[in-house]
Amino acid sequence: MNKSWIRGASLFAVVSLVLTLSGLAFADKAPPPEAVAAAASAAPSASAAASAEAPAEKKEEELSAFGAGLSKFNGWVAGALFFDISGGAFLHPKLDAAGKEVVGKDGKVEMEGASIPFIVAILALGSIFFTLWYRFINLRGFRHAIDVVRGKYDDPADEGEISHFRALTSALSATVGLGNIAGVAIAIQKGGPGAVFWMIVMAVFGMSAKFSSCTLAVLYRRHNPDGSMSGGPMYYLDLGLKKLGIGPLGKALGCIYAVMVMGGAFGGGNMFQSNQSYAVLKNAVGLGPSAKYVYATVLALAVAAVIIGGIKRIGAATSRVVPAMCAIYVAAAVAVILVNAKHIPEALGTIFSMAFTKNAIFGGAVGVLVIGVTRASFSNEAGLGSAAIAHAAAKTDEPVREGMVAMLGPFIDTIIICLMTALVVVVTGAWKSSLASAGDVDQGVVMTSQAFASVISWFPYVLSVCVVLFAYSTMISWCYYGERGWIYLVDHLGEGAGLRSVMVFRVLFVIAAWFGAVAKLGPVLDFSDLMILCMAFPNIVGSVILAPTLLKHVQDYWSRYKSGEMKPYEPAAAE
């Protein structure tokens, strides 16, 4: 590999690290709560938003010494992740009705407007880079990706554990969740309908980021003695960079990623999901105080029934649950949109025009772009690398082919499902309603529910079922992500140690699912949520360094595909 390329990528990593440390040093200058809440609410879990929106007067003495310290650490990490790289260029003093500057309780003038968070910039620039580097693979490979996921090239003899389709549904089950229902509504209220436009734009670029990480996952996956596969960012960071002669960096990035994905699995991918799904169900049905223990037990047992069987059982479950829940939700959305068909042109015009208004380009509504980009990035997990763990188990001997399948994830998650939610909220006029707690995830669900209820009076009950299904599917997929991180780390104690002890992780995951539904989680959960966002840093840095290597594989695959060298197979038999 060209040494100048490695030096350039290393410089990128150093600059990113400096910006991160700057964020830690100036955590008190983090962006407005609105920006943090909008970003966190779109993540696989959104309790970081609850932390950012928590009342300032909350007394620290209510927390344990550990909790207070962890809460402060969370503030530092959030300050780094959401550090405004624009230097406050798009912020201005907040004015009251009389035109006077508003002074906060700390004596400082409150600021409002837009910021460009460091983590959003990393995700956006990374996605744009991969799109350009791989020659718009997200567009030219789209039709081929559809053929692959339909089973046209499935070969039962290929190595792997699950089909292309089940790998896709397993990854989708982790991304299609509360963010699709609540996050979109919050983004629209905070950034206006124009945020939807940028959400779609970012999803298109995000397809390339997803392609990159998932192709690398198959390229550098490891074959376990029991026939299973282990792959994902921790493996391609470790093995890929080792082949380039920078093994220590790869090992460090791999271990960091594994720790983060484990923490994120327990928090955002587990406890938050059980906690919020119960809250939504309780509000819809009116459950009593003791019902949460019954719900927690049933949910924990349902999760255990699937995850104990590993990725094959997870794939079998998600291949049924994901299409079903998406079909129910999309069908209801289409019904609402058709009833309001006369408002569709106006809604589309509003979305487009508000993305390019004078305010949207200069100053205040640069936030529209940021909120849209953030919503798309954190909804479909493009750039975080988590989906690569599921796709690494696919039955294929062509890494690039699986990458093609993976890039359909952002398209389905954001361009279809999130866009449906956005259109429902806009055509019904629900986005104009003023919610006092618009930054809260449950209020985002309320806004979406109100939009649907304007046409389908009983839809709030259906929505509560969808939320439970979304949460359940997210949990079983994130368990697999977390256990792969566990296996990678524990294997350092001895070959095969991780696989032999993986049941320990699964049991702990089930226990955490129960506690998530009944307990107040506080700063511990906020910490795990922030770890999910931190996953983007090692993944994008490593993927950029490995980009020249991957490009050779992409060019080889594409030339063979265009020449007709690849022969279709009959769809694989049901597993």
- 233: which 2 tokens? 């960012």
List the single range of 42-46, 295-299, 522-526 with lowest mean pLDDT: 42-46
Q: What is the pLDDT of residues 187-209, one digit of tens each?
A: 777 777 887 888 888 889 989 99
What is the DSSP pairing of strand 229-230 with strand 91-93? unpaired
Q: Which long-range contacts (CB under 8 A, 24 or more apart) does 304-311 make?
A: 304/506, 304/510, 306/476, 307/476, 307/479, 307/480, 307/506, 307/509, 307/510, 308/503, 308/506, 310/228, 310/480, 311/161, 311/162, 311/170, 311/228, 311/390, 311/393, 311/480
CA 355 to chain centre: 23
Q: At what angle are helices 142-149 and 164-175 packed, to 10 degrees?
A: 110
Determine the pLDDT at residue 522: 64
The most confident of 27-31, 71-75, 153-157, 325-329, by mean pLDDT: 325-329
Residue 550 has pLDDT above 90, yes or no: yes
Determine the pLDDT at residue 396: 81
User: For residue 451, what are the CA distances in angstroms to 54, 414, 424, 457?
Assistant: 26, 19, 6, 10
Nearest alpha carbon to residue 395 among 315, 323, 495? 315
Determine the pLDDT at residue 360: 44
CA 536 to chain centre: 10
Q: What's the whole-number mean pLDDT along residues 381-408?
A: 85
Of the chain, the percentage scoring pLDDT greater than 90 comes to 10
Asked if residues 261 and 389 have their Cβ atoms less than 8 Å apart, the reply is: yes
343/428 Cα distance (integer angstroms):
8
Q: Which residue carries 């799904």 as its tokens?
A: 277
Contacts of 248 (CB under 8 A, 6+ apart): none
Q: Which residue carries 């493996």 as its tokens?
A: 235
Asked if residues 414 and 259 have their Cβ atoms less than 8 Å apart, the reply is: no
Nearest alpha carbon to residue 137 among 545, 413, 536, 550? 550
Q: What's the whole-number mean pLDDT along residues 144-172?
A: 75
Determine the pLDDT at residue 352: 83
Residue 397 has pLDDT above 70, yes or no: yes
Q: Which residue carries 């990593």 as its tokens?
A: 13
Determine the pLDDT at residue 528: 65
Determine the pLDDT at residue 376: 58
Residue 470 has pLDDT above 50, yes or no: yes
Residue 9 has pLDDT above 80, yes or no: no
Determine the residue type at 290: S
Q: What is the pLDDT of residues 262-279, one digit of tens each?
A: 988 887 788 888 887 887
Determine the residue type at 535: M
Determine the pLDDT at residue 63: 44
Q: What's the whole-number mean pLDDT along residues 1-8?
A: 50
Q: What is the pLDDT of residues 362-383, one digit of tens each?
A: 433 455 556 556 655 556 677 7
- Rounded to 10 degrees, the C-alpha dihedral 526/530/532/537 comes to -170
Q: Is 456 exposed, middle or buried (0-12, 13-18, 19+ CB in 10 A)?
A: middle
Q: Is 306 exposed, middle or buried (0-12, 13-18, 19+ CB in 10 A)?
A: buried
Asked if residues 258 and 234 have their Cβ atoms less than 8 Å apart, the reply is: yes
Residue 94 has pLDDT above 80, yes or no: no
- What are the backbone angles phi and psi of residue 111, rounded to the nearest 5°? -110, 150
Residue 507 has pLDDT above 60, yes or no: yes
Q: Identify the three-state secondary structure at position 111.
A: strand
pLDDT band at 224 (very low <50, low <70, confident <90, very high): confident
Q: What's the whole-number mean pLDDT along residues 498-524?
A: 81
- Which has more confidence, 302 or 371? 302
Residue 192 backbone zone (phi > 0: left; psi -120 to 50: alpha; other: beta): left
- Which has more confidence, 290 or 389? 389
Mean of all residue pLDDT scores within the chain: 75
- 460: which 2 tokens? 């709030």
Q: What is the CATH number of domain 3-87+158-562?
A: 1.20.1740.10
List the single range of 57-66, 446-455, 460-469 with lowest mean pLDDT: 57-66
Determine the pLDDT at residue 160: 66
Q: What's the whole-number mean pLDDT along residues 145-153?
A: 81
Q: What is the pLDDT of residues 308-345, one digit of tens each?
A: 766 666 667 666 777 777 788 888 888 888 988 888 88
- Which has more confidence, 454 or 551? 551
Determine the pLDDT at residue 435: 45
- 374: which 2 tokens? 């953030």
Residue 44 has pLDDT above 80, yes or no: no
Determine the pLDDT at residue 236: 92
